[in-house]
Every structure is written in C-alpha cells, then in structure tokens.
Amino acid sequence: MTIPDGMCASLLRRLVQNQYISIEEGYSEENIRYEKYSLKPLWSKLIDEFTFEKKQADLEHNLHEETNLYTIFEQEFGRPLSPLECETLAMWLDQDHQDPSVIKAALREAVISGKLNFRYIDRILFEWKKNGIKPIEQAKDYGNKFRQQRKKTKLVQKSDSKTIPFYNWL
C-alpha cells in the first residue's frame, strides 16, 4: 500500500498535533544530528485509557456491590433497614473503608451465631480489623476457630459442674 508524499506528511503532522506521536532529536556516534518519530505518547494514551476503563468498571462494580449489600441486609433481617442502620452501613463502607465482601462475611457470621443486630456485626468487623483479617477466607477461618473455642469452653463448663446429691435435712 502506497500513499503520496504530501498525504503522508499531512497524516504525520496530524498525529503530532494530536499528540499520538512525537519527534525526538538525537546525535549519532559520528556527532550527526537526526530526528525520529516516537510512539511514547501513543503508548501513554493507551495506558491511560485502559486504566481509566478499568477504574470505571471497578467503580461501577463497587457501586453495584454496595447497593446489593443493603438488599442482602434487608433480606437477612426480614425487614427494611432503619435510617440508623443505613447510616451504620454507610459508615462501614465510607469511613472504615471495609470491603463489601468482608461486611457480607460478618453478616454471615452473625446469622450463623443467631445474633442479627448491627452492634454484633460491628464488633465482628472491629475484631477482624484489629487482628488484620482482610480476605474472606481468613474471616471464615477466624469465625470457625472462634466457634470451636466457644464449644470447648461450653464443654469444659458442663464437665466441671458436678452433680451434688440433694439431702433433705428436714
């Protein structure tokens, strides 16, 4: 494929004006000055566009996940959330920067324990943050360990309680 010289120069000029390519100057080993076209501006624009699209997709995903989080809480509680509960949920997301998946895992732990209230979930999230638990897998392991520890203490309490015979002194 060939194009006339004037058209080629016009296309190159337009690419330089739109900052898709740049002209770089240099000197050869024989100290002769030369110019060359560089594609660095094009690559940086492509990278910027790719990262922008990725950030945009992540933002949309997080927004969808946060909206979904309110619905999941309402379903688990079996009622609409109160304004105070909505504010608490927003605080976990905005101020505490909790990941929605971690909040869902804390809700799951509260459901398993049979304690459906926001204070209990807040304590779970606080404990996890204090112990540096971020991924969901770590949270599940921590919850299982906690439940096993509670079962052991209940068994110890049951085994320690001895039956004392009742003697009627009357």
**DSSP string over 8-61:** HHHHHHHHHHTTSSEEEEEE-TT--EEEEEE-HHHHHHHHHHHHHHHHHHHHHH
3-state secondary structure of 164: coil
Domains of the chain: 55-157 (1.10.10.630)
Tens-digit pLDDT profile for the chain (170 aa)?
788 988 988 998 999 999 999 999 999 899 999 999 999 999 999 998 888 888 888 888 777 787 788 889 899 888 998 999 999 998 998 888 888 888 988 898 888 888 888 899 999 888 888 888 777 777 777 777 777 776 676 665 665 566 677 777 76
CB 62 within 8 A of CB 100: yes
